[in-house]
């Protein structure tokens, strides 16, 4: 009899803002982004042999930020 394995749903979220031409001359052409991956910090479901790495990612929640700037 096969061992049933639960499903896994992860939620990723990010926000981004781009400063346009009407902004400060120092911020013109700048994009700021912040986000999080696996925001609910869900672990992959286990099977009889651990977790199925072909289907699930064991990555824990993490936050990130980036700033990009165009110079032309």
Task: Confirm whether 51 is domain-assigned.
Answer: no
Task: Confirm whether 14 is domain-assigned.
Answer: yes
Tens-place pLDDT, residues 22-41: 767 888 889 999 999 999 99
Domain ranges, residue 33 = 7-42+59-72
pTM of the model: 0.69
Q: Is the dihedral of CA 44, 9, 53, 46 positive or negative?
A: positive
Strand partners, 7: none
Give the total number of structural domains in the chain. 1
The reported pLDDT for the residue numbered 47 is: 66
Q: Do residues 37 and 62 touch, judged by C-beta distance below 8 A?
A: yes
Cβ neighbours, 10 Å, residue 41: 12
Task: Confirm whether 54 is domain-assigned.
Answer: no
Task: Confirm whether 2 is domain-assigned.
Answer: no
The reported pLDDT for the residue numbered 61 is: 94
Predicted confidence band of residue 13 (pLDDT cuts 50, 70, 90): very high
Percent of residues, the chain, with pLDDT higher than 90: 39
Predicted confidence band of residue 48 (pLDDT cuts 50, 70, 90): low
């Amino acid at each position: 009899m096969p061992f049933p394995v639960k499903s896994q749903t992860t939620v990723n979220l990010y926000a981004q803002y781009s400063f346009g031409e009407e902004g400060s001359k120092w911020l013109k052409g700048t994009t700021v982004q912040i986000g999080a991956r696996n925001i609910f910090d869900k672990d992959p479901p286990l099977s009889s042999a651990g977790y199925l790495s072909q289907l699930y990612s064991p990555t824990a929640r993490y936050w990130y930020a980036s700033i990009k700037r165009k110079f032309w």
